[in-house]
Amino acid sequence: MNISSLLQGVASFAWIGLIGVIAAMFIRTSRNQPSKGLGTAAIILLVLAILLTTVGAGLVFIEPDELAIVVTVLGGQGIRPEPLPAGLHWIVPFAERVERYSILNQTYTMSSSADEIAGTTDDSIQVRTKDGQQVYIDASVIYAIDQLQAVDLYRTWRFNYEDGLVRPQARGVIRDVASQYGVEEIVSTKRAEMQALITEQLEQVFLENNLILRDFVLRNIRFSDEYAAAVEQKQIAEQQAQQAEFVVEQRRQEAEQARQVAQGQADAAVIAAQGAADARLIEAQAEAEANRLIAQSITPELVQYQYVLNLAPGVTTIFVPSGNQFILPLPNTTGQ
């Protein structure tokens, strides 16, 4: 409770007291009883009530989140040229009054959801896009009054600026800008660009009408039922095509993997065969070298010795015809 309200409350009690004293005076007079003291009290209460009422009507307290327009019968304009800021102020009692404006940010929402708007009907903006599709846009406009131009705002709109200015201008700008884009641009590649363009145009419109645009929020974009069904079918077809491409790629990778496995097995077989051939060659070379060394080491005496040893393991005596050499003739090892 501010001081002006307090004074008006006290003045109300003074008026009530005055009425009570006057009633008591009439009762005493009707009964031929003296009422001299009541008359003095009535005069004091009258003066006090008038004084408190006058002071209470002249003092106004403006809250910190408000400013006030002073409407006056003094002067030819009917409005003081400057608004009253927050604090305690004096106005001419009964000749002037104040109209209060909130200086806080205000939000006006246009939406299809009844939970977000004051009414119960769909308040979204219907827009016909460049390619002829119908879309529904939910948006919010956050704004505040221009404190330096509050007097002009009051003179032009009074308190009807939301319904008379904010709503129609916002809806008109949104429709004009959105109609410059195709439906796919609105929902994907050009959405941010469209929002920035709407914000720019609304800022200019509000500035010309003594308001300040704080922000424009593009909340949601919906399609007609027919277009939504077409988009869904298109997405399903694209997903199926992507799935088919995935299957083809998977089969190609499996074939490539099988080819690589077969190539690996073939390479392994070649390597194994080459290894076996190399091993056989080495073995043959080793045998040839061994035979060469053996051939170099053979002498007639060694051959005879081996010949005797191999006649029979258990032979200790050999009879030979008379006239023959002691050892049987050996094979000719010279090739002559």
Alpha carbon separation from 62 to 3, 68, 89, 98, 210 (Å, rounded):
11, 7, 8, 9, 21
Q: What is the pLDDT along the chain (336 residues), one digit of tens a residue?
A: 567 778 778 888 888 988 888 888 888 778 777 766 777 888 888 888 888 888 888 899 999 999 999 999 887 678 999 999 999 999 999 899 999 999 999 999 998 876 655 555 778 999 999 988 889 999 999 999 999 999 999 999 999 999 999 999 999 999 999 999 998 898 888 999 999 999 999 999 999 999 999 999 999 988 877 776 666 566 666 777 777 788 788 888 888 888 888 888 888 888 888 888 888 888 888 888 777 777 777 776 666 666 666 665 666 666 556 555 555 555 555 555
Q: From CA 111, how far away is CA 232, in angstroms rounded?
A: 24
DSSP helix/strand/coil, 134: strand
Domains in the chain (CATH in brackets) are: 3-99 (no CATH), 106-223 (3.30.479.30), 228-336 (no CATH)
Residue 237 in tokens:
């077809």
| Terminal Cα distance for the chain, rounded | 149
Q: Identify whether the C-beta of residue 11 lies closer than 8 Å to the C-beta of residue 53.
A: yes
Q: From CA 200, how far away is CA 15, in angstroms rounded?
A: 57
Single pTM value for the model: 0.62
Q: Which of 221, 217, 201 is nearest to 142 (CA)?
A: 217
Which residues in 47-76 are b (16+ Cβ under 10 Å) and which e?
A: ebbeebbebbbbbbbbeeebbbbbbeeeee
Count CA atoms within 13 Å of residue 18 on its CB side: 15
- Give the Cα-Cα-Cα angle 11, 13, 16 (nearest 5 degrees): 110
